[in-house]
Chains A and B, each alone.
Chain A
């Protein structure tokens, strides 16, 4: 698939969660865009699609999937992809993203984002699947780096080298989850800034920010807490390195009032603004 025209940054967005539907429609909060979990809207009708349509009429939307399982050795689920394509036709997302991972094989779904070994074999397996997905969806796929707690003995390259090679082979773009970079860097002992330095600058379409649980010996990606200072620092570095990329704050558990998330999002705006000014000097 030919490379698409680079998308204009959307600004600063939030993950759309049902607890905030009414407030968003009533209050028109200062959020530039919303990201929806694709699978939550692959339904026939009712409230999910009603609110998606109403919010889409007011804000740009990005579709973010959790079960594409692009790294699985099971065949691609074309029925699922057709559902994603139909939903995209309905809500016209700015782009469609999912994760570089596998979520199950055979007919199973483990509902978790399991890492791949970073090998030539995995590259040769995943790259054609990305191309097939892009053809089926009729657009570029944006792939996110996952948090991981294990690595494989067979890995022959770094995660960022693997991602970069996928970009080169398929023309896909990247969703750089800054929190995931931090979590994995702590768990595997690599330099988080080297990860950011190592991804192809023009391919980074979006940032994710989220909270995690720090257990000292290792870190677990929980999305149930505010972004920590170390991740804010890494975000500033990412903006300096990669520019004004669309930024999304995620919260999936212990979801606070919308105003609290908007305050946190404002901090992302401020850090991004300061980082860009720093670069301009």
Chain B
């Protein structure tokens, strides 16, 4: 059997499982089946462990056995195409959320998405964010066309459950007992949607909730809307105080290290 065919056959069996194909059995010297099983098992265990590492609070919420079943469904549906196993698992939130038919499923989806975004911020590229000082030196006629983009670590999320509160509780529990689980914090869905901001200004990842008006304004700024247009949009809500409100938010965003000038 050619090397190309051998690798395709072996990979196909590792990805799909099931009985060992006769051609693969012929290609592997005896005792083939027992030893080949080590690779089959290792594939499932290694990727499941990677997902547990990526989603520790979802694992604790579900318990390892239930999470293991979810992980295996994910692994079957999403074979890794990444060089680094760190990058594997982005789409797990969709699977965990499923059809969102129950509050618990919606919580799982939001927990997973929150954990993924925290990880994305954790090792995002380092940049020098725009500062209040830099803008203070700007000529007055430059302000209307002033535009921004997000620093690479900035992530946005909207929750419709108390996923972040549950995340905090699970993190505390995991610090006390890394093997804990399944942990049942009450899930709340009768809450207004909450916007979240995640960013890593230096080495530590930070997050906070955003009032709805600020979230909408920030999203406009991150979309590259010029400062004058941003102020004009805010006029509908803030009238003559729109420019002052925009400047107040902008100062805060710059202090938090959220923005790059474009």
Partner-B contacts on A (CB < 8 A): 39-40, 42-50, 67, 72-73, 77, 80, 83, 102, 104-112, 114, 116-117, 119, 121-122, 125, 149-155, 187, 218, 220
Contact = CB atoms under 8 A, between A and B. Distances in A.
Given A67-B84, A110-B43, A44 B124 contact: yes
B80 interface: yes
B123 A46 contact: yes
Contacts of B1: 154
A110 B11 contact: yes
8 contacts: A40-B86, A45-B126, A67-B84, A105-B7, A110-B14, A110-B80, A111-B46, A187-B35
Contacts of A151: 28-29
A39 B10 contact: no
Instruction: Please name the 9 residue pairs, one residue from A and one from B, whose CB atoms are nearest each other, closest first.
Output: A44-B125, A45-B126, A43-B123, A39-B84, A46-B123, A149-B35, A73-B4, A105-B7, A67-B83
Given A72-B7, A112-B39, A152 B27 contact: yes
Chain B interface: which size bin?
35 or more
A46 B85 contact: no
Contacts of B66: none
Name the prevailing secondary structure of the A interface residues: loop
Contacts of A102: 7
A46 B125 CA distance: 7
B225 interface: no
B6 A42 contact: no
A77 B84 CA distance: 13
A142 B15 CA distance: 29
B26 interface: yes
A122 B124 CA distance: 39
B181 interface: no
B29 A104 contact: no
Contacts of A116: 3
Contacts of A73: 3-4, 7
Contacts of A104: 11, 80
Nearest to A50: B203
A155 B6 CA distance: 13
Given A109-B82, A112-B42, A153-B29, A45 B124 contact: yes
Contacts of A45: 123-127, 152
Contact of B3 (A42, A50, A107, A125): A125
A109 B86 CA distance: 12
A121 B3 contact: yes
A149 B43 CA distance: 14
B3 A109 contact: no
Contacts of A111: 43, 46-47, 50, 80, 85, 88
